[in-house]
Structure 1
Amino acid sequence: MDLSKLNINTPLEIINQATQAGLIGSLGIEITKIGDGTVEGSMELSEKNCRPDGILHGGANLALAESLAGLGSMLMVDMNEFDVLGIQVNGSHTGVLRSGKALAVAKILHPGNQTHIWNVDVRNEDGRLISTIRVTNMIVKRNDRD
């Protein structure tokens, strides 16, 4: 699918189909809700996203957060004219996930013309915080990308 055609009104089924071929699909990330300045998603614990001891890998948490924030920024700009590039991800892991799903909520803090800053909280199914992550995306004109 041409990602430049995605917008906030695109049905979740189409967004999830469009994102499953790469890392998002490999890790088991699913987009569950899109709103104005928010993106929610989940990631089922599996052998593809956990450490050898069965705990959700911290890097998978960061990938979940960057995926949601990146999608959120993509939905806010004209992807025919602009590109969204993740430039910083900073996370603090406060708990572990041993079973079930990681549930993440990304909220935009700064919807600027050149940068978007998102906060993403990842929780277990009981609501306990697993990670809190800050993602910064750079918004660049497609011809200025390099």
Structure 2
Amino acid sequence: MNAPSPTDAAGNQPLEHELWKITLGELDEKMGVKILEESVERVVATMPVEGNRQSFGLLHGGASLAVGEAVGSWAAVIHASTMGKTAVGVDVSATHHRSAREGQVTITATPIHLGGTLTTHEVLITNEAGQRLCTLRITNLLMKRHK
């Protein structure tokens, strides 16, 4: 028996290609990143503050950028996979609003633009109280996937 064709996240139309599944990289594992959700519409992950602090005891801004870029890029690759493509980051910017000393942060990427050549995602990093710690914007170039 044949498996049903994949559909988009809303279940609307059959997709030609199977959605890419997130695989953590070495840095993601060292940072303690955990994936909670993965779809074209939304990627959500968590990361502990502990182990990702700078010398003053605050969540490191570089850790926020690294995890935000990873989650935003994963979201772009999931979208790209619907077209048999992959994605590479071409621009990322971030604004740090506040920091954290402990607990866990949640990283959520949602699309601003899902094109056939470029994607742009907003990535929010929030603390356990739901307060915004950092806002990132990442643009990815969609390319032919090389095997």
**Cα offsets for 1:85-133 (capped at 9, x unmatched):** 1111100000011100111111011001111100011110001110011
Aligned residue among 121, 127, 130 for 1:127: 130
| Cα RMSD after superposing both structures | 2.2
Give 1:31's aligned amino acid: I
Distance 1:92 1:133 in 2: 6
Q: Deviation at 1:61?
A: 0.7
Structure having the larger proportion of residues in helix: 1
| Within-5 A mapping of 1:6-25 | 7=19, 15=22, 18-19=23-24, 21-25=25-29
Q: Which runs of 5+ in 1 are unaligned?
A: none
**Cα offsets for 1:49-97 (capped at 9, x unmatched):** 2101221111111111111111111112238952311111100000011
Fraction of identical pairs, as percent: 26
Question: Match of 1:71?
Answer: 74
Give 1:53's aligned amino acid: F
Give 1:50's aligned amino acid: R
Return the TM-score normalized by structure 1: 0.80
CA shift in 2, pair 1:93/1:142, >3 Å: same
Count of paired positions: 130
Distance 1:137 1:96 in 2: 27
Aligned residue among 74, 82, 85 for 1:82: 85
Distance 2:68 2:40 in 1: 17
- Counterpart secondary structure, 2:75: helix
Question: Match of 2:13?
Answer: none
Give 1:7's aligned amino acid: L
Q: Is the 8 A contact 1:38 1:107 kept in 2?
A: yes
Return the TM-score normalized by structure 2: 0.79
Q: Which runs of 5+ in 2 are unaligned?
A: 1-16
Q: Deviation at 1:35?
A: 3.5
Give 2:33's aligned amino acid: I
Q: Which has the larger radius of gyration?
A: 2
Q: Is the 8 A contact 1:84 1:137 kept in 2?
A: yes
